[in-house]
Amino acid sequence: MKNVLVTGGAGYIGSHACKALRAAGFTPVTFDNLCTGWKDAVKFGPFEQGDLLDRARLDEVFAKYAPVAVMHFAALSQVGESMKEPGLYWRNNVGGSLCLIEAAVAAGCENFVFSSTCATYGEHDNVLLDETVEQHPINAYGASKRAIEDMLKDFEGANGLRHVIFRYFNVAGGDPDAEVGEFHRPETHLIPLMLDAIEGKRDALTIFGTDYETPDGTCIRDYVHVCDLVDAHVLGLRWLIDGKDSQVFNLGTGSGFSVREVIHHSNTVTNREVPYNEGPRRPGDCTKLVSGSTRAEKELGWTPTRSTMETMIADAWRWHQNGHYDK
C-alpha cells in the first residue's frame, strides 16, 4: 500500500484521517510530537515521534517511508491562546510548516493536503463564506494558517508542489465505532466541554458572549462531522494523485448553529440538562462563520452524511462515555 505522511496523526482530526486512509487502501504514517496528541490514538499505521522544527528527523522519515503525499494537520489551534502568545503560533505553525514543506520538496514528495481553517476569513457578518471571499484573519491562529496557504502557493510556483487546501468550519463528532475520538487537554471545544458539564466533570459550561448580533445573542458556527471531514481529505488526496491542479475547498454544511442551539440539541440527544454560565466575549471570536460553498461537492464529489447536529452530538457522547487516551 502507498504511504501517506500524516502530521498530527495522534490528534483528534489526524487520528480519524488515519482510519479513513487505512480504509481507502493507504498506509498512514503518523508523525507527531505528542504535544497535544495521544499515542493511544495511533492505531492504523506506523508511528514516528518527532517535531516539525526538526528537519533532520523529517528527512529520516521521508527517506524511510517515501510517502506519495503529506497530509498536514499538526498545529496549535486555540484562538484565545493565539491572541495572548502569537509567537507560539508563528514559530510552531508557520515555522514548522516551512520545515515540513522544504523536507517534502527535497524528498520529491509533490502532493500536499493541508488542514486550514475558516478563521482565515475573519469577520464577514451576514456573509456566506466561499473560497473567493477575501481573507482578513483577526487572530494569530487564522493568520498563521493563511501564511501557510501563501507558502504552499509559492512552493508550487518554484518547485511544483501541488496542494489541496481545506478550510474547515467547526469540526465535531467522533468515530461511530469509538475507536478514536475527541480528547484535548485542556479542552476548548464547545461540544466536549458541554458533555463534560453534563457528566459533572466541570461545574458548568461557560457561554462566552451573549450580546452578539445574532437572534439569541450567541456566536453562530457551521459544524461538520469529523468523519465527513476526513472523507473529503481522502478525496483531496486522490485528486492530487490523479494529477489534478491545486485547489482550495471550504468544508462546512452551510447550516449555522448558535451556542444556545447546540445546547438545546444536546439536552435532547443526551436527555440531560447542560449546566451553564454566561461570560464575556473572548478576544478573537467572530460573530458568525458559515460556509456558502458547494465547490467540494461539485469538484470532489464530497457529500456529508453524518453532519446533522444530532448525529455529531450522539457520536461525541458515545466516545465521551466510553473512550479515553493515556499518553
**Positions marked active-site:** 141
Cell of 59: 528527512
Pairing between β-strand 256-258 and β-strand 220-225 as defined by DSSP bridges:
antiparallel
- Which amino acid type is present at position 322? N
- Rounded Cα gap, residues 6 and 116, in angstroms: 15
Pairing between β-strand 170-172 and β-strand 2-7 as defined by DSSP bridges:
unpaired
Cell of 312: 455529531
| SS3 (DSSP) at 219 | coil
Q: How many residues does the chain have?
A: 327
Cell of 61: 522519515
- Rounded Cα gap, residues 285 and 81, in angstroms: 12
Cell of 205: 459550561
- Rounded Cα gap, residues 145 and 120, in angstroms: 7
Q: Which of 109, 168, 108 is nearest to 304 (CA)?
A: 168
Residue 248's H or E segment, with its range, is strand 247-251
Identify whether 186 is preceded by a cis peptide bond (ω within 30 of 0). Answer: yes
Phi, psi of 58, rounded to the nearest 5 degrees:
-60, -45
Residue 303 burial (C-beta neighbours within 10 Å; 0-12, 13-18, 19+): exposed
The contacts of residue 262 (CB under 8 Å, 6+ apart) are 190, 191, 194, 223, 309, 313
